Copies of this chain bind each other. A is one copy, B any other.
Amino acid sequence: MKEPRKDNNVSTSEKKDAATDLQSLGEGLYKQMEQGEFPWIKIPSRSTENIYYSPELRQYILGDRKVKRSARNIRHIRPFTQLVWTAFFAHKLSTQRKTSTLRDVYYSAQAYEMSFKDQSESDNIITDLETAIGSAREDFNIFPEERSAVFGDITIEYTVPGYEGRQMNLTSHPDGLMVGPALTYSEFVKTSADKVIAIEKGGLFTRFIEENVHKKHNALLVLTAGQAPRATRHFIHRLNKELELPVYILTDGDPWGMHIAMVIISGSANAAHVRDLTTPDAKWSGVWASDIVDYKLPSVPLTEIDIKRLHELQRDPRYKDDLWQREIKIFMKIRKKAEQEAFSRYGLTYIVDEYLPSKLEETK
Chain A: residues with CB nearer than 8 A to chain B?
A: 97-101, 103-104, 106-108, 110-111, 143-147, 149, 158, 160-163, 168, 172-183, 201-203, 206-207, 210, 212, 223, 225, 298, 339, 341-348
The 10 closest A-B pairs by CB, nearest first: A175-B180, A101-B203, A110-B345, A107-B344, A175-B178, A174-B182, A108-B344, A176-B178, A175-B182, A103-B341
Q: Which of B175, B183, B342, B346 makes the CB contact (< 8 A) with A147? A: B175
Contact A107 B298 (CB under 8 A): yes
Residue of B nearest to A102 (CB): B203
**Which chain B residues lie closer than 8 Å to A144 at the CB level?**
202
Contact B174 A108 (CB under 8 A): no
Q: Which of B174, B176, B339 makes the CB contact (< 8 A) with A160? A: B174
Residue of B nearest to A105 (CB): B344
Residue of B nearest to A343 (CB): B107
What separation, in Å, do the CA atoms of A98 and B208 have in the docked complex?
Answer: 11
**Which chain B residues lie closer than 8 Å to A348 at the CB level?**
98, 100, 104, 108
What separation, in Å, do the CA atoms of A344 and B102 have in the docked complex?
Answer: 12
Chain B: minimal CB distance from A120 (Å):
13
**Which chain B residues lie closer than 8 Å to A212 at the CB level?**
162
Contact B181 A173 (CB under 8 A): no
**Which chain B residues lie closer than 8 Å to A101 at the CB level?**
202-203, 341
